[in-house]
């Protein structure tokens, strides 16, 4: 599996890449940050494009959240229904792991045909 870029591609890079990957016959899924609360590494609208081999472009968070999103992307490419994923940490849990504050991010994952 490749790692995501440090920042989501600007402008039309995600749609252009998705179109190119589909022309190549790749199975793909798109993950989009639909809402955030508190501390979140990526704002709403950030996207991650994943192909059936785990190649990625863009980012929705980083760390363990991104790995979980990739697993869900692979599942929707295999026929699972699109899904809304919620990830969060309370302020108390955040301090325990060395973060300044808690937060929540919701990511919608769908296959692209």
Each residue's pLDDT, cut to its tens digit, for the chain (113 residues) gives 444 443 444 446 899 999 999 999 999 999 999 998 877 778 899 999 999 999 999 999 867 788 899 999 999 999 999 999 998 766 565 555 444 456 788 999 999 98
Q: Find where tokens 């108390």 sit.
A: 92
Question: What pLDDT shows up at residue 61?
Answer: 85
Q: What is the pTM of this model?
A: 0.80
Question: What pLDDT shows up at residue 41?
Answer: 79
Question: What pLDDT shows up at residue 103?
Answer: 75
Alpha carbon of 104 to those of 40, 81, 101, 110: distances in Å? Answer: 7, 23, 10, 20
Extents of the domains making up the chain: 13-112
Neighbour tally for 43: CB within 10 Å: 10
Beta-ladder partners of 49: 30, 57
């Amino acid at each position: 599996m490749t790692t995501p870029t440090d920042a989501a591609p600007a402008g039309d890079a995600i749609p252009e890449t998705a179109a190119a990957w589909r022309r190549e016959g790749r199975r793909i899924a798109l993950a989009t940050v639909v809402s955030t609360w508190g501390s979140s590494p990526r704002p709403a609208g950030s996207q991650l494009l994943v192909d059936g081999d785990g190649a990625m472009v863009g980012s929705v968070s980083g760390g363990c959240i991104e790995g979980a999103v990739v697993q869900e992307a692979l599942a929707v490419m295999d026929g699972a229904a699109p899904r809304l994923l919620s990830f969060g940490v309370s302020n108390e849990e955040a301090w325990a792991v060395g973060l300044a504050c808690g937060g929540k991010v919701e990511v919608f994952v769908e296959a692209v045909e």
